[in-house]
Amino acid sequence: MPEPSILTALMGVIAERRDRPPEGRSYVVSLLQGGVPAIGAKINEEAAEVVAAAAEPGDEGRAHLVHEVADLVFHTLVLLGHQHITWAEVEAELARRFGISGITEKEARPQKGGATRPPSGA
């Protein structure tokens, strides 16, 4: 059986921390206890750092961007874990969208109130 991806492995650790918090200090547990406001604040912070790092030139900028994207992904995984959403659910949604134009996919989404948007040009 293949090894789980690092994202799946991280989700397992996050779920373990959520369901059976260890004794002592845990960064993940502190975020989970803070709920959506605490986790969301970290995601917003990390997203801003991703954008700032993307503007940095050269190899150092590239390495910084990779570091910040990893932070953003990690904190997003914590939010998913908090909400009891698995990485497999996210992968399934990405697979569903694969090969569909972003414009087409967005137009097919329900509008507020439940109606779908009319196709472009209609």
Instruction: Answer yes or no: pTM beyond 0.85.
Output: no
* Model pLDDT, residue 10: 96
What is d(CA 29, CA 14) in angstroms, rounded to the nearest whole number? 8
Q: Tell me the mean pLDDT in the region 68-96.
A: 96
What domains does the chain contain, in order, with CATH numbers? 6-108 (1.10.287.1080)
What is d(CA 108, CA 52) in angstroms, rounded to the nearest whole number? 33
Task: Give tens-digit pLDDT for 25-56.
Answer: 999 999 999 999 999 999 999 999 999 999 99
The DSSP 8-state label assigned to residue 122 in this structure reads -
The region that residue 117 occupies, defined by phi over 0 for left and psi between -120 and 50 for alpha, beta otherwise, is: beta
Task: Give tens-digit pLDDT for 88-121.
Answer: 999 999 999 888 877 776 777 788 776 655 554 4
